[in-house]
A and B are shown apart, each in its own frame.
Chain A
Amino acid sequence: MSDTSYLSLDKLTLSYGKTVAVKDLDLDIRKGELLALLGPSGCGKTTTMRSIAGLMMPTGGHIRLDGVDITRVAANRRAVGLVFQSYALFPHLSVFENVAFGLKLKGLRGAELDRKVDAGLKSVGLADFSARRTPELSGGQQQRVALARAMVMEPKVLLLDEPLSNLDARLRLEMRTELQRVQKESGVTMIFVTHDQIEALALADRIVVMKSGAIEQIGAPEEIYNHPASRFVADFVGFENIFEIRNGNLVTPEGEVVLPGTLPQAAGLAWRPRAVLLGSGPWSARVRGISFAGGTREYVLDTPLGIIKAEVDASLPAHAIGTDVVFDLPVENAAVLKRFG
C-alpha cells in the first residue's frame, strides 16, 4: 500500500463455491482519481466493484478506505455511492423523494433537506423535474437522478456500473462530459466498470484491465492504447494483427516466418490495421474483402502470414477484391507485447 493510496485493495479474493471470481487483487487508488475497471464479462470487474460497495463479502484480503479497514463494515456505513446500470430508482417515489431518500435517513429535514436535494438536482440539470415520477423520465434523465441521489450523500467513493452502456451515442458523449465535470467539481474518487474500451479510454485517468479475476495491466489511457502489455489487452483495445514471437521468428497460422531485421526481445508483436503499410513492402497478398469507412478503407488480406487487416486513407486508390497487393508490417509500428497470454 503506497502513501498516496486513498482506497486500497489488498489481496482481495472472492469466490463462490469453487468458482474464483477475483483472486489476490492488489490495487491502489488515489484520492480524486477517475479509474476504469475494464474487461469482458466474467473478468471479475463487477465483483470487485460490489466488494468495494459492501454488497459482496470478500472471502480473503482487505479493503481500506481513507485509512480505515472497511472489509467487514456493512454496506450502509461505508460512505460509498453506487450508480447502478439499471439506475435502480425507487419507482414509487418522485424524483425529489428519490434524491432525498438517503439524506432523510441521515436525519435531514425541512429547509436543509430541500436545499440539498435542490442543489443536487440542479447540479445534474434536473432542477425542474423534482415533482416528476421516475418511470416518466428518459433513460438519460433517470441516470442523472441516480447520480444526484448518490452524490448528495457526499460519498468518499462513487462507483458507476456501466454508466454509458444504456445510453444512445449522443447522450453518451453528453453524459461522459457530465461525469467528468461532476468529478472535477466535487473531487470525488470515481471508479467505473465497463466492458467498452472506448468508454474507458475517453473517461478515465487510469485504466485497470482485468481478465479472469486478476489485473492484466494498469495504465493511463494512452499507455493502454499504444502499449498493451499482453495479447489479451492488445486484442481488447483493437489490435487486429497479433503474432507471437518464438525463436526470434513470427508465429503465423502458416508456420514460423522470419521478419526482415531484428525483432525486439518480446513475447509478441501487434499491429493495428492503421499500422499496416499497403502498396510497398516485402509481402504479397490478395485482397479478400474491402469496406469503405468514411475517411479510410478497411481491407481484409490473404497473406503468407494468414489473414491481415489493414486500414488506409480513402484518398489512396482502392484495390479491388481479388487483386494482388504488396504490404509491409513495419516492426517500428508494432506494439511490443511483454506477455503472450
Chain B
Amino acid sequence: MTMQRLFAPVTLALVLIFLIGPFLVIVAASFSAGDTLAFPPQGLSFKWILKVFTVESFRQSFVTSMFLAIGGTFAALLLGIPASYAMSRYKLPFAETVRGVVSAPIIVPGIIVGLALLRYFVVPIGLSITLALFLAHTALVLPYAVRVVSASLNNLRSDIEEAAVLLGSSRLGAFFRVVLPNIRGGILSAFILGFVTSFNQVPVSLFLSGPGVRTLPVDMLGYMEIVFDPSIAALSALLAFLSVGIVFAAERFLGFSRYV
C-alpha cells in the first residue's frame, strides 16, 4: 500500500530530475570559479558569466542567430499562413503533395539538407552566406508554421467568414477581421516552435557557415574545440533563461492562453 502510494511521487521526481537535471548542472557549472568546465563547480564566481559578454564572436553570432530565428520564422509564417489557409479552405489539386513537400525539411536529416543546400544551391548560384542561412532557416521553420496554423484553421468554422462578408466585409477583410484573430494562438505556437527550432539548429547551419558568419550554436561548438572553460556553460544557461523569457513574453503580449 505504501509502496503504491510512493510510486507516483517518486516517478514524478525522477522524471523531473531527468528533464531539468542537465539544466541545473549547467547553471551550477557556470558559477564555477575554476578554469575548466566541471561539476560540481569549483568555488563560486560570476567571472565566466561576465566573460560571455566580452567574447566578440559570441556577440556577433548571437545577433546572427537572433536575426535568423526571428526573421526566418516571420518569413515562414508569411508563407505558411496563406498556404495553410488555401489548403484548409479550398480543394486544391495536389494539396497532399504540397503538405508532404512542406514537411520534408523536418523529416530529412539536417546533415543532408545542409550538404545539399551547400553543394547544389549556394555554391553554384553564389549566394551570400547570410542569405543562404536565412533561406535555409525559413525552409526549416516552414513545416511548423504550416502544421500548427493548419490545425488552428481546421478548428475554425469557415462560416464565420461568410457571416463577415454578409455583414459588409470583403473576403480579404474577413480574413483579417475574423480569421486572423481566431488563429492567434496557433500562430504564436508556430512562432515559438519555429524560433526555438531555428535558434538551436546545428547541422544545416554548420554547412552554411562562412567566414565571419556563424550561428551561435555553431560558434559554441567551435569555441569548445579550442577552449574548455565554464564560459560555455554560462552562455548555455543564459540562452536557456532567454528562451524561457521569450516564451513568457510572447504569451503575455500576444495573449496565447486567452485563445487556446
Contact = CB atoms under 8 A, between A and B. Distances in A.
Interface of A: 53-55, 75-78, 80-82, 84, 86, 88-92, 101-102, 105-106, 146, 149-150, 153
Contacts of B169: 76, 101, 105
A53 B178 CA distance: 19
Given A82-B163, A84-B162, A90 B168 contact: no
Closest 5 CB pairs between A and B? A102-B167, A88-B163, A105-B168, A88-B159, A92-B181
A223 B259 CA distance: 51
A102 B166 CA distance: 8
Nearest to A152: B167
B162 A149 contact: no
A86 B160 CA distance: 9
Nearest to A75: B165
Interface string B43-58: 0000000000000000
Contacts of B178: 90, 92
Contacts of A92: 178, 181-182, 259
Contacts of B173: 105
Contacts of A146: 163
Contacts of A89: 160, 163
Contacts of A81: 166
B234 to A, nearest CB: 43
B5 interface: no
B157 interface: yes
30 contacts: A53-B166, A55-B162, A55-B166, A75-B162, A76-B165, A76-B167, A78-B166, A80-B166, A81-B166, A82-B163, A84-B162, A86-B157, A88-B162, A89-B163, A90-B160, A90-B163, A90-B164, A91-B182, A92-B178, A92-B181, A92-B182, A92-B259, A101-B164, A101-B169, A102-B167, A102-B168, A105-B167, A105-B173, A149-B167, A150-B166
A105 B166 CA distance: 11
A153 B164 CA distance: 12
Given A55-B162, A82-B163, A88 B157 contact: yes
A153 B162 contact: no
Given A86-B159, A90-B160, A75 B166 contact: yes
B36 interface: no
B170 interface: yes
Contacts of B166: 53-55, 75-76, 78, 80-82, 150
A91 B177 CA distance: 12
Nearest to A105: B168
A106 B163 contact: no
A84 B182 contact: no
B177 to A, nearest CB: 8
A22 to B, nearest CB: 19
Given A90-B182, A105-B169, 7 more contacts: A75-B165, A76-B166, A78-B166, A88-B162, A90-B163, A90-B178, A105-B167
A76 B182 contact: no
Contacts of A149: 163, 167
Interface string B159-200: 110111111111001000110011000000000000000000
Residue among B168, B177, B178, B181 with the most chain A CB within 10 A?
Answer: B168
Contact of B159 (A75, A78, A84, A150): A84
Nearest to B163: A88
A91 B159 CA distance: 12
Residue among A54, A77, A84 with the most chain B CB within 10 A?
Answer: A84
A84 B159 CA distance: 8
Contacts of B159: 84, 86, 88
B66 to A, nearest CB: 31
Contacts of A90: 160, 163-164, 178, 182
Nearest to A107: B168
A101 B167 contact: yes
A64 B160 CA distance: 26
A84 B162 CA distance: 9
Contacts of A82: 162-163, 166
